[in-house]
Amino acid sequence: IGPARMTRLEDLWKRQPDAQFSDLYKKQVDDEDDNPDSELELTPTEQQYEDGFHYQNILAPLVKMEADYDRQMKESLTEESIAVDWDVSLAGKWIAKFSFHRMTAESRVVVGDELRLKLGAGAQFLNQGKPWEGVGYVKGILDGQVELELRNATNNPGGIGAQPSNNNNKSKKNGGGDAAMVVPQNIREDYIVEYIWKSTSYDRMQNALKTFAIDDTSVTGYIYHKVLGHSVEEQRIATAKVPSTVAEFTVPGLPPLNESQRLAVAAVLQRPLSLIQGPPGTGKTVTSATLVYHLTKQNMGQVLVTAPSNVAVDQLTEKIAATGLRVVRLASKTRENQTVTSVDHLCLHVMVPLASDEFQKLQRLKDDFGELTERDARKYRALRNKTEREILQAADVICCTCVGAGDPRLKNFRFRQVLIDEATQAVEAEALIPIAMGAKQVVFVGDHCQLGPVVMYKPAAKAGLTQSMFERLVLIGNRPIRLQVQYRMHPSLSEFPSNMFYEGSLQNGVTEADRQLLTTPGYTGKEDFPWPIPGKPMFFYSILGMEEISASGTSYLNRTEASYVEKIVTHLLRMGVTPAQMGVITPYDGQKKYVSEHMRRAGPLATSLYEAIEVASVDAFQGREKDFIMVSCVRSSETQGIGFLSDPRRLNVALTRARLGIILLGNPRVLSKNPLWAALLLHFKEHECLVEGPHLHNLQACHMTFPRPKRNPATDPRYAFTALARGGWDVVRWDESASRRNGNNALGFGKSQADSRFDPRYSR
């Protein structure tokens, strides 16, 4: 059995747990409709489209396939014979705690997901033969245990509430649904858990595609043609108010911009469509926040600020709020009351109760009694909607995810100015959601050398769904404005990413002195970390531990690496570095759990310190920074691949999060089989920062040898991103006068002579 066949079978198991090898070759003709593997004419994406309908016709089916696949995956999570522990939250809500058997399931469930809990046959027997079911949101997942907060069972479960007498005001209304109220708290075994799949985000993408095609007020004509890739005469916004002095550019609460950042702001303000590209730490987000400030001064109404991920939106929201603008962060209903972020006070659902005493009173009633009388409930909803509308209308800036822009609460809003940060992480249709709300001026900010969109259904990915609108626009000749001076990393840390991923173009805006721990404001410790080479705050810790398959069966962990992570963390904590200053990155879920657990269990300092340290995937760190980053690579088998680690974009993000110091822990022998990692290891070795040994204070140079990669991986066409980068930059560097002479741009697309929108050259 070859690895390829094994992978295919594993894929099949996700949808068909009892599949056999023979099933791999079965032609499934009977159920073509819901069988995503039947590769029914998958029309690939194009770079240019004839019109909105053409665009929709190509993208909508791909989005649908991705949605169908997602649904199948999620719905296959149903599990029986689950044991539940009942608990009551502080707010008096029922919490069901349980673990999935197949932990694959659990690792795919995330906080905010909706699950249904039902009684199995045995449990129903114990429940006097009565069925019961409850629906709730996943409130937390701790060490593999899911905490599900039940939605319609809030009647003071711990006390009198569990008695029927307290249900009076609901029984009238709820009728049959009443069963949900009486949680079978004495029954522990034999529950069934089902995943409730929601199509919301896909629906909103489809909607945006449709709106863009049929509603000619969804965007201006210029944006319409630009998005479709038509060649249109460049436009300038004549009325743009552009700051003229350095002081005018500077906004409250943010660092003064450097010259290229100022030029970027000035250029963007005058253009209806712009792309800002820059390597990590070059201030894309800071520049975006400054830009948003100036955009609000253009008298074009409210500005819509989005990014594909919640993490990125929060980053940006925080920076924009620092400028003193009135900012509202619109979070999805499922995220309300469950995640604690730095921007909670700017969230709509937090602001509403503060704005209305009467609403607050009703909210308290609702919390105490689980539900309101019909009259109060109507009043509650009306008051909430009114207050929400008022707050949103009063804002200068509304921040949400791209998908969040399709929220019904923004239904009647129009936005002339839209900014999308991390735009290279959004699929086309996703980026279109905020744009198709009336856009006249659009700003894309991103970096295609960092993580791209996640597309799970491989055929759709292959057909081009993973290409972001940002990338496509670059490829068809829209020049991005580039930022190249980074203010995040100690110069030693930016060297490798600059050479490997950015053709050496990344410059340092901070000096080594700026990134010394001992002079960092707020640091009260007396010593520096014992870096093997003083002045180079980095090392690759050679650790020859074993990788293991985690309990879930689908992830990996590495105990030896985890124990060294704990040692390093403890050392930093002892020196006086705070937990908030550090982060542990590991690409595997299994290791993530194991490291957290292990630090809590084995760490000699207060548990709360270790609990406060963020251990997360690379993806969760995109757009963010920490003073110290530890990267636990996990993979250590000579015969298996290195999985996630081989993605250059992921490596790039992992290497560029640290400000003061980075420590990688891994097995050099295994990792060096990959040319990109071999280059990284050579880099550390050449700097004498490839080390081994049991004591942090006495690390020895590691003399392991590995072959120098045959060619520079940075120029390896197998890495899509470098190829793309080159494609993109060639366009940028391409001689414009020649372009004008020939009427063609670098990629050979027709330019200017074609008057008809339907000229075939636009789309072929």
Interface residue with ligand ATP, options 202, 249, 444, 487 (CB under 6 A): 487
Choice between 205 and 316, CB closer to Mg ion: 316
Choice between 284 and 567, CB closer to ligand ATP: 284
Choice between 533 and 616, CB closer to ligand ATP: 616
Contacts of 366 (CB under 8 A, 6+ apart): 372, 380
Q: Give yes or no for residue 318 binding ligand ATP (CB under 6 A).
A: no
What is the secondary structure of 295-319 as a DSSP string?
A: HHTTSS-PEEEEESSHHHHHHHHHH
Residue number with the shortest CB distance to Mg ion? 285
* Residue closest to 447 by CA, chosen among 418, 486, 413: 486
Q: Which stretch binds ligand ATP (CB under 6 A): 12-20, 87-95, 147-155, 277-285?
A: 277-285
Q: Which does 282 bind (CB under 5 to 8 A by kind): ligand ATP, Mg ion, none?
A: ligand ATP
Cβ at position 249, least distance to ligand ATP in Å: 10
Q: Which stretch binds ligand ATP (CB under 6 A): 281-289, 385-393, 495-503, 741-749?
A: 281-289
Chain CA centroid to CA 320, Å: 19
The whole-angstrom separation of Cα 705 and Cα 542 is 12
Interface residue with ligand ATP, options 44, 131, 255, 535 (CB under 6 A): 255
Q: Give yes or no for residue 604 binding ligand ATP (CB under 6 A).
A: no
What is the secondary structure of 482-504 as a DSSP string?
A: E--EE-SS-HHHHHHHHHHHSTT
Give the three-class secondary structure for 110. coil
The beta strands (E) that lie in 551-657 are given as 556-557, 582-585, 614-616, 626-632
Interface residue with ligand ATP, options 170, 488, 515, 536 (CB under 6 A): 488
Cβ at position 510, least distance to ligand ATP in Å: 8
Choice between 370 and 623, CB closer to Mg ion: 623
Give the helix/strand (H/E) hosting 137.
strand 133-142
Name the pairing type of β-strands 79-82 and 114-119.
unpaired
Interface residue with ligand ATP, options 47, 155, 218, 285 (CB under 6 A): 285
Residues numbered 391 to 450 that lie near ligand ATP (CB under 6 A) are: 447
Contacts of 400 (CB under 8 A, 6+ apart): 304, 305, 306, 313, 329, 330, 331, 407, 410
Q: Give yes or no for residue 306 binding ligand ATP (CB under 6 A).
A: no
Q: Tokens representing 417?
A: 């100015």
Decide if 432 contacts 207 (C-beta within 8 A). no
One symbol per residue from 625 to 664: x for binding ligand ATP (CB under 6 A), - otherwise; what is it? x---------------------------------------
Interface residue with ligand ATP, options 74, 139, 170, 284 (CB under 6 A): 284
Size of the site for ligand ATP (CB under 6 A): 17
Choice between 65 and 343, CB closer to Mg ion: 343
Treating both helix axes as pointing N-terminal to C-terminal, what angle do 221-228 and 52-75 enclose, rounded to 10 degrees? 70
Choice between 208 and 291, CB closer to ligand ATP: 291
The whole-angstrom separation of Cα 457 and Cα 265 is 38
Q: Which stretch binds Mg ion (CB under 5 A): 87-95, 183-191, 527-535, 618-626?
A: 618-626
The whole-angstrom separation of Cα 18 and Cα 668 is 38
One symbol per residue from 623 to 662: x for binding Mg ion (CB under 5 A), - otherwise; what is it? x---------------------------------------
Choice between 103 and 305, CB closer to Mg ion: 305
Interface residue with ligand ATP, options 152, 211, 258, 722 (CB under 6 A): 258
Interface residue with ligand ATP, options 52, 134, 278, 728 (CB under 6 A): 278
Choice between 286 and 565, CB closer to ligand ATP: 286
Decide if 288 contacts 386 (C-beta within 8 A). no
Q: Give yes or no for residue 668 binding Mg ion (CB under 5 A).
A: no
Choice between 228 and 303, CB closer to ligand ATP: 303
Decide if 303 contacts 396 (C-beta within 8 A). yes
Q: Side chain identity at 394, as an amino acid letter?
A: A
Q: Which does 508 bind (CB under 5 to 8 A by kind): ligand ATP, Mg ion, none?
A: none
Residues numbered 275 to 304 that lie near Mg ion (CB under 5 A) are: 284-285
Choice between 309 and 467, CB closer to Mg ion: 309
Work out the burial of residue 686: count CB atoms within 10 Å of its CB; fewer than 13 is exposed, 13-18 middle, 19 or more buried. exposed
574-611 burial, b at 16+ Cβ within 10 Å, e below that, comes to ebebebebbbbbbbbbbbbbbbbbbbbeebeeeeebbe
The beta strands (E) that lie in 402-487 are given as 417-420, 441-446, 481-482, 485-486
Cβ at position 319, least distance to ligand ATP in Å: 8
φ and ψ at residue 540, rounded to 5 degrees:
-105, 115
Choice between 372 and 423, CB closer to ligand ATP: 423
Binding site for ligand ATP (CB under 6 A): 255, 257-258, 261, 278, 280-286, 447, 487-488, 623, 625
